[in-house]
Structure formats: C-alpha cells, structure tokens
Structure 1
Amino acid sequence: MAEDTGRVGRGDRIDALVERVLDERGKMMALEVSGPEVDQFVWRLDAALDGAFGHITSDVRVRMVLGSACTTAAKAVDQIVAALQLPYPAARGWGDLLDALGDRPVSRRECVVVADASELLRHEDHDRWRELVDTLRGGPYCLGGGWSTLVLADHRFAWERWVFRSVAEVPGLGS
C-alpha cells in the first residue's frame, strides 16, 4: 500500500498515488485511499489521464465501482454493468458480464477504481474474485494501444481485515 509518510500533505499524497497509477497502466494495484479521499483521487486521476493521454485519444475513461455494493457476484453484475456502461445483455448474469468485459476493444484506455475495495465479492470465494480482477485489468496491448488499470482503493483498517488477505497477491498489500 502507498504509505503516508506524514511529511507531505493530503493533496501531495493523492498526487503521488495518481502518478503511481499513471506509471503502472494495465496493472492492478491496491492503494490506501480512505472514503473521503476517493472523490478527490478519482477527479485528479481523470484530469491527469486526460493530460497525459489526451493528445493520443480523447477517450480515456475513469470509472468508479463501489465495492460495498458488490459483495456478491449477483450484486456485482448490476454495479459493474452500470459503472462501466456495458451493453444490456451483460446484466443477465456472471458469465454474461465476463463475456462482455472480454469483448471490449483492445484500443480502450480506462482506469477502473473500486472504492471500498475490501468489500468486493467478500461473500464469494477467492477464485471468483480473481476471475473478476483479472478481467478488469490488462495491457498495454500492442495492436490496439489500449490498457485497463484496476485500482483497489480502501483505508488501512479495511485492508488489514480483508477477507482475501491471506490468499490474494495484490501489489502493495503483501501477505
């Protein structure tokens, strides 16, 4: 997790987290971003992505998913379909959601931020969680030039009590 050293202000810390996301496109990372900071983080990340990649394409997207609304696979389907603006058939069920995520063009450039990420699929098994996060991140793709970065954001206390902590391999969390 990105640590707050105490020597920098909240805004500087958020800027440092944004820079980390920009540097690690196409990957998954867990960050310590508390509830009140999430809006500011997403806003700054969106602006930074537009500034960094707006000259290449104007279609860089930052989407936010609420992990606390996705504690089961059934709940996650509706939340993710709405947040990522997937086609209606993706809302039919888990398999259709994964198919729709896999059918997106490789030229897309997006960053999916999961707020309250320690709650994401907490009532499912780790394999289901892994299936989702592996589908939400990827790239950079050589032919399409796109990427999808997954940012799991939550506060330190939540990460310490995270249900998958012992089995998940998420950069920044350790085991």
Structure 2
Amino acid sequence: MKPVPFEQLPDEELVLLARNDRGAMETLVKRYTDAVWHQVRQFRGASEPDDLAQEGFLGLISAVCRYDSMRGVPFSAYAGKCITNSIVSALRRCRNLPLPVGTYDVPPLSQMQDKALPPDSVVQSRAQAAAMFCAMVNRLSRREYQVCILIYGGASYAQTAQQLGISVKSVDNALQRARRKLHAEGIVQ
C-alpha cells in the first residue's frame, strides 16, 4: 500500500507526525502560513511584521507540541489561539503593555484574506516566510530539531531530557548548536 502524502492528511494526523518528522512539520507550516500572516496584520503598526511572524511561527510550533485531540478542539482553532497568544506575548515583552487577548474572534482559515495589500506582495511575503521557516527546520540535525520543538513548545530542559532519554547538558548543547547554526544563516538574531 502506497503511503498518503502529507498534503492529503488532516491536521490532527499531521500534528502527530510533525512531532518527529520534518516533512510533516514543513507541510503544517505551509498550511498555516496564511493564518500566521493574518494574525500579524491584526497588529499592524505595533511592531515589525517579520518579527511578529516569527513569533507566530513559534506559536504554531508550540501548538504542534501541546495539541491534545482528546479535548475535542480542532487543531485549526487551537493553533489560531496559540499563534495569536505568542504574538501578543511578544508585544507585551517588548512594550510592557497589557494588550487584550481574545477580544475578537478568529475566522476560519478558509475565510482569511487581506484586501488591503496587493495580491502579489501578500503571496511573496507568505512564500518568503514559509521558505524561511522550512529552511530553518532543514538546517538542524534530528536531535537539534527534536530539542527545539520541545523547548519552543514550552517544555523545560529536564522534561526535554527525560522525553528524549538524554542528559540536561545534552539538551543545552543541542539547543546552543541549533542557535549558532540559525544565527550563522541569518535566520535568527
């Protein structure tokens, strides 16, 4: 029997695979790039759009790591909330402002459009963001990828070490290597 391509899998199955498979994560990132940029546009003028998008993608990673289908919430709703909360948290850290969370409803992904930007620029910025994130994921070793997914998903060093069956020092080393690689590529500051 031929395996089903990632693009044809529903979100909930793809999330389970993305925790250990880069290809599945890339597919989810591409699928949710529009959602991230939609949330970034909600905070137009509050900060640099690319910085907010990066925070949104970290929120997406967090959603992948923490999603529990047993709670009965669709992944798209959970991811949308995680993306928004990550952006809002970043703005709070930068400006120390009490920004409201959840003051507006997030429309379904199929209804997300931005008519204020020319279509060419929207497509180009979305494609660049997706390419940047996919490149970031592809530059890391499997261990570095696993550590980053868990740490950015909210796990502590000890929890990450326990889950991966390695020492806390190995977790720290893998995270530092990943940061150096990504910094050298100009992907993170």
Does TM-score exceed 0.5, indicating one fold?
A: no
Instruction: Report the TM range for the smaller structure's normalisation.
Output: under 0.3
Return the structure number with greater relative CO, CA threshold 8 A, min gap 6: 1
The structure whose residues are more often strand, as a share, is 1
Query: TM-score scaled by structure 1?
Result: 0.26
- TM-score when normalising by structure 2: 0.25
